[in-house]
Amino acid sequence: MPFANHPTSVPVTVDDEKCIAEKGCRVCIDVCPLDVLAINPASGKAHMKYDECWYCMPCEVDCPTGAVKVEIPYLLR
Amino acid sequence: MSEIKTEIVETDILVIGGGTGGPMAAIKAKEKNPGLKVVLMEKANVKRSGAVSMGMDGLNNAVIPGYATPEQYVKEITVANDGIVHQKAVMAYATGSYPMIQYLDSIGVKFEKDGSGEYNVRKVHHMGTYVLPMPEGHHVKKALYRQLRKHQVLVTNRYMATRLLNAPDGRIAGAMGVNTRTGEFLVVRAKSVILACGAAGRLGLPSSGYLFGTYENPANCGDGYAMAYHAGAGLANLECYQINPLIKDYNGPACAYVTGPFGGYTANNKGERFIECDYWSGQMMKEFYSELQSGNGPVFLNMTHLAEETISEIETILHSNERPSRGRFHENRGTNYREKMVEMHISEIGFCSGHSASGVWVDENARTTVDGLYAAGDMASVPHNYMLGAFVNGSIAGQDAADYCASTDLPAYDEADVAREQERVLAPTRRDDGLTPHEMEFKTRRLVNDYLQPPKVTAKYKIAQARFAEIREDLNALCVKDPHELMRALELQSILDCADMAAAASLYRTESRWGLYHWRVDHPATDNENWFCHTLLYKDEMGRMAHKKRAVDPYVVDIPEEEMGAYHQLRTPALAAE
Ligand SMILES: Cc1cc2nc3c(=O)[nH]c(=O)nc-3n(C[C@H](O)[C@H](O)[C@H](O)COP(=O)(O)OP(=O)(O)OC[C@H]3O[C@@H](n4cnc5c(N)ncnc54)[C@H](O)[C@@H]3O)c2cc1C
Ligand code: SF4
Ligand code: SF4
């Protein structure tokens, strides 16, 4: 059974200019209750890897540089 | 996935779930006996996990001297649950309520007080006064975290417990889990285990179709219920589902508990009140459901008539605590409380004692039916327990478990159980192709909506059981690419267990009770002669799902016959006459 690629928009975005992941910051990744954020290997910055979000906001509130923005997932918006 | 390691840890007490009740259990066990080793295993990170991840906007059930007595509270909860309650456990909560508020206050959790420093309690329930606002409630998790550190509780974040371990004599011997980032397998041997894994909140599918757009924190997918079941514990009244009135699509509280005391109310499309009391009960949900079905739906939360300063106060509370993205949601849709009512809907089904009465059976000491195994919070059977209940109940569990540990050795366990569990857990990692956790979860939960959502129809329930059995066969094709997907694959298996339990428990109770929660179309009447009892669902010696009745213990607070029906008269008099 082959798998399909199924692109979807993500509700949580990170401003690469503001993100200081290269200095070792992992705050948003650490606090997310659903573990859906990760370092993007391409940019070295945090990003939303899985579209499995409770729009609960610890990632945005706890980010030290204000780089994270949580939107309501499109299906609910 | 590469080579998987297994680690074995030994402890006195293992607490599973670091949300609300779990941390309190760990803290209170350490307070009682600082010499004990206490491990807290959390699927996410205790700093921001669980229902109170972003704090809370109020206590829903505070029993504070001067406003309510424990006896009044026990009466209220008994009546709201059609009499089926283990009153001793509700009483244990009620008497522990005020001391717990004082303790929380002392560790930095903020509650609303009036000018003279007294708690500012409000009325939302039908009979008594129990709601204490927390306009600055966003620091709950921080306060708990400080105590976890102070008491040297050993925290393991990002470990998902998958099964409990039993000793040869049946008592609890520990648990197994898997790291959700590395796939590492963990065996924790313990004298006592406290389950605090929250509600089963990923059972029904939200009508938006978004799997994670649930009322509950979606990390709470029913693992606790499934683990308790497989360890042989009895689960009580699972047919008494959780169904909540929520902001449509957003699926979070609107929230009538916060706005009610300010004058907000639930209204139909004519802007008219149709229920007298916004306290969430099965009867209230049935009225809500009827209104949605009638030409009077949709249902709204109305605040348009309130004064500007009241509305801005409400906005401050609702848009900074608990579910702070509410504000963003309303903004996107151009909903301003001043001008537009908030459209509401009913949630998907789940299990939860925190809001309803479906949980792992516990007595007044938070003990389950398995020796050494405790349950606390939303997944423990004390009804309508909410956040404060999770704290009190967790505290009771922690203290009792500390005593239990003093009189027991570390039990032996069977290596074969570990090997079998490791095989089950890791099987999806060994396949290169097959079905994904996402599609299997979607299908299971879609079927839950199609067939299990009340009104409950026997013929539909039988179809559901057949379809769930087919999905169980499909588990042989479940396939994952990384540890994250493995977590989802294991969660799916808990969801499927809960779906089977929901169907079986509902079919067992051949009467209707608790309003919408257990409305059996084929058995529409409440049958007190045969069903004035708890139901316990458990796994029998043959590994089959079995049921038994458990008599309701003699009440500790008498309820006069005429007061028993109070929650059946929620409809506003004018509409009831129509
Ligand atoms: C949106 C919302 C609003 C609410 N509003 C109020 C309110 O205003 N007032 C009020 O009093 N109550 C309110 N409640 C109820 C209250 O928050 C809950 O009753 C209470 O927090 C439940 O505590 P708990 O410990 O049982 O679960 P939680 O605090 O949710 O903790 C469960 C924990 O278990 C972890 N876990 C789950 N499975 C596993 C596993 N397999 N292994 C390891 N860890 C696991 C989860 O990650 C989570 O951290 C609300 C609940 C919700 C969801
Ligand atoms: S918390 Fe902010 S700065 Fe830190 S990794 Fe995340 S986005 Fe980057
Ligand atoms: S909003 Fe919540 S679930 Fe979504 S990414 Fe942020 S912390 Fe994770």
Could you give phi then psi for residue B344, rounded to 5 degrees? -120, 165
pLDDT bracket for residue B136 (50, 70, 90):
confident
Are B423 and B507 members of one domain? yes
* Ligand 3 pocket member A56 (CB < 6 A): yes
Per-residue pLDDT tens digits for B372-384: 999 999 999 999 9
Q: Distance between CA atoms of B446 and B448, rounded to whole angstroms? A: 5
Closest B-chain CA to A50: B484
Is the minimum CB–CB distance between B55 and chain A shorter than 8 Å? no
**Cα dist. B479→A7, B437, B531 in Å?**
20, 7, 43
In this structure, which ligand is nearest to the CA of B201? 1
Q: Any CB–CB contact under 8 A between B330 and chain A?
A: no
Q: Looking at beta carbons, which residues of chain A come within 8 Å of B249?
A: 76-77
Q: What is the mean pLDDT of residues B427-441?
A: 96
Nearest Cβ partner of B48 from A31, A70, A73?
A31
List, for residues B217-232, the tens digit of each pLDDT value. Answer: 999 999 999 999 999 9
- Cα B89 to chain centroid distance, Å, stands at 16
Local structure of B34: helix, strand or coil: coil
Q: What is the CATH number of the domain that holds B480?
A: 1.20.58.100
pLDDT of B4: 67
Cα distance from B475 to chain A (closest Cα, Å)?
15
Q: Which residues line ligand 2 (CB under 6 A)?
A: A 14, 19-21, 25-28, 46, 63-65, 67-68
Domain count, chain B: 3
- Co-location of B408 and B502 in the same domain: no
Across the interface, whether the CB atoms of A34 and B219 are under 8 A apart is answered yes
Range picked from A6-15, B321-330, B466-475 for highest mean pLDDT: B466-475
> Can you tell me the mean pLDDT for B270-279?
89
- Asked if residue B568 belongs to a domain, the reply is no
CATH class, range A16-71: alpha beta
Q: Indicate whether B359 and B217 sit together in one domain.
A: yes
- Residue A5 predicted with pLDDT over 90: no
Which residues make beta-bridge pairs with B456?
B520
Give ipTM to 2 decimals: 0.97
Residue B43 sits in the same domain as residue B162: yes
Chain A contact present for B158, CB below 8 A: yes
Same domain? For B409 and B545 the reply is no
To the nearest whole angstrom, how far is the Cα of A10 from the nearest Cα of chain B?
A: 12
Is B61 inside any structural domain?
no
pLDDT tens-digit profile of B67-93?
999 999 999 999 999 999 999 999 999
Which atom of ligand 3 is closest in space to residue A12's alpha carbon?
5
Please report residues of B whose CB lies closer than 8 A to that of A49: 484
Q: What is the dihedral of CA B360, B365, B370, B374, to 10 degrees?
A: 60
Amino acid identity at B443: K
Does the residue B565 lie in any domain? no
pLDDT in tens, A9-59: 999 999 999 999 999 999 999 999 999 999 999 999 999 999 999 999 999
Q: Tell me, yes or no, if B345 comes closer than 8 A to chain A by beta carbon.
A: no
Domain boundary among B371, B393, B414: B414
Do B264 and B380 share a structural domain?
A: no
In a domain, B109, yes or no: no
Does B20 touch chain A if contact means CB atoms closer than 8 Å?
no
Least confident of A8-22, B272-286, B428-442, B475-489: B272-286
> Do both B158 and B209 map to the same domain?
yes
- Quote the pLDDT of residue A3: 85
Residue nearest to atom 4 of ligand 2 (CA): A25
Picking from B394, B414, B434, the residue at the C-terminal end of a domain is B414
pLDDT for res B577: 44
B451 and B510 in a single domain? The answer is: yes
Return the SS3 of B344: strand
Cross-strand partners of B341: none
Q: CATH code at B168?
A: 3.50.50.60
**Residue B353 near residue B383 (C-beta atoms within 8 A):** yes
- What is the distance between the alpha carbons of residues B264 and B253, in angstroms, rounded to a whole number? 13
Mean pLDDT score, B410-425 = 96
- A58 alpha carbon, closest ligand: 3
Q: What are phi and psi of B573, to 5 degrees?
A: -55, -45
Ligand having the closest approach to the CA of A57: 3
Judgement on whether residues B402 and B339 belong to the same structural domain of the protein: no
Could you tell me the residue ranges of all domains in chain A?
A: 16-71
pLDDT greater than 80 at residue A2:
no
Is B132 within a domain? no
Q: Which of residues 383-442 of B touch A (CB under 8 A)?
A: 433-436
Tell me if B228 is assigned to some domain: yes
| Rounded-to-integer distance, Cα B271 and Cα B292, Å | 13
Query: pLDDT grade, residue B578 (50/70/90)?
Result: very low
Distance A67 CA to ligand 3 centre (A): 13
What per-residue confidence (pLDDT) applies to B3? 59
Residues B34 and B179 in one domain: yes
Nearest alpha-carbon partner for B43 in B251, B186, B189, B231: B186
| From B131-140, B267-276, B457-466, the region with the lowest mean pLDDT | B131-140
Among the atoms of ligand 3, which is closest to the Cα of residue A70?
Answer: 1
Which of B54, B212, B217 lies closest to A57 in CB terms? B54
Taking CA B418 as the corner, what is the angle to CA B480 and CA B477, rounded to the nearest 5 degrees?
25
Q: Is the Cβ pair A33, B436 closer than 8 Å?
A: no
CA distance B423 to chain A (A): 23
CB–CB of B434 and A76 under 8 A? Answer: no
Q: Give percent of chain B above pLDDT 90.
A: 87
Maximum Cα–Cα distance across chain A:
44
| CATH number reported for the structural domain that contains residue B303 in this entry | 3.90.700.10
- CA-nearest residue to A62 within chain B is B48
Residue type, B488: R
Cα dihedral B569/B572/B573/B574 (nearest 10): -150
A3, A71, A75: residue with CB nearest B210? A75
For residues B168 and B93, state if they share a domain: yes
- In this structure, the residue with its CA closest to atom 1 of ligand 2 is A63
pLDDT value of residue B1: 52
pLDDT value at B574 more than 70: no
- Sign of dihedral through CA atoms A51, A53, A59, A65? positive
pLDDT at B534: 98
Average pLDDT, chain B: 94
Last residue of a domain, one of B348, B369, B393: B348
Q: What is the largest CA-CA distance in chain B?
A: 69
Interchain proximity B217–A33, CB inside 8 Å: yes
CB contact under 8 A, B436 and A3: yes
Structural domain that includes position B528: 417-551
Tally C-beta pairs within 8 A across A and B.
90
Same domain, B424 and B389: no
- Residue B524 reports pLDDT greater than 80: yes
| Residue B438 in domain | yes
| Cα separation, B259 vs B265, whole angstroms | 7
Q: Which atom of ligand 2 is nearest to the CA of A21?
A: 5
